Structure 1
């Protein structure tokens, strides 16, 4: 990861998710609570095709912006795709899969509920 501030990367991620019509976008601040990342973003796509498309476009945009290497996991099935952009980790789900795993509840910290991002 380059030395791009995590907030700038988060804003790029949220803009790209909005542009690609991701649904129910939630941002969870992790700074000081986890060493894996500063922010976790969770979003849904309507189908496996949309989830895969969002993940690929997001990865491309992050790379084009020079914000470091990006790792993708779960792309072939596209039920749940993890986009690891270093300080920001993005989980993209089909709605049924998101409901099953309920990461928002798992990562909710008593005093800091997840924050809905934009109008997504």
Structure 2
């Protein structure tokens, strides 16, 4: 049960810089993705856009097996940071969602990523993509 004092504390603002824990976690996730040879990695700052999370990371794996292996590395990075993420999309591994609260991770096969185009949804371009 939450104490009256804890309930009276205001929630942190949606806008502003990511909390230090989120920044450290993102750095660990990006390292895990780099070590796993992920492609087209994009980090999107969600501050002021949603209260869903602070940061969204999107990456591409070359095959279902590669997507699954990248997901395993990212889940390990979350757990090492003391976060138990919720994972959706395994074992099929066309698209894996890893929800760690402050940080949300999407890992796609190339054609699935192109179909959903989350970068466009959140108003950012993919690496190497020209914007009109």
Q: CA deviation at 1:52?
A: 0.5
Alpha carbons 1:43, 1:93 under 8 Å: kept? yes
Distance 2:94 2:119 in 1: 17
Shift of 1:65: 3.0
- For normalisation by structure 2, the TM-score amounts to 0.77
1: distance between equivalents of 2:88 and 2:114? 19
Q: Relative contact order, CA 8 A, sep 6+: which one is greater?
A: 1
Matched pairs, number = 109
5+ residue gaps, structure 1:
none
Report the TM-score, using the length of structure 1 for normalisation. 0.84
CA contact (8 A) 1:29 1:114 kept: no
Q: Give the whole-Å Cα distance in 1 for the aligned partners of 2:46 and 2:81.
A: 23
Task: Give 1 or 2 for the bigger CA radius of gyration.
Answer: 2
- 4+ aligned runs moved over 2 Å, structure 1: 113-116
Residues 1-120 of structure 1 mapped to structure 2, 5 A cutoff: 5-66=21-82, 68-108=83-123, 113=124
> What's the offset of the Cα at 1:114?
5.2
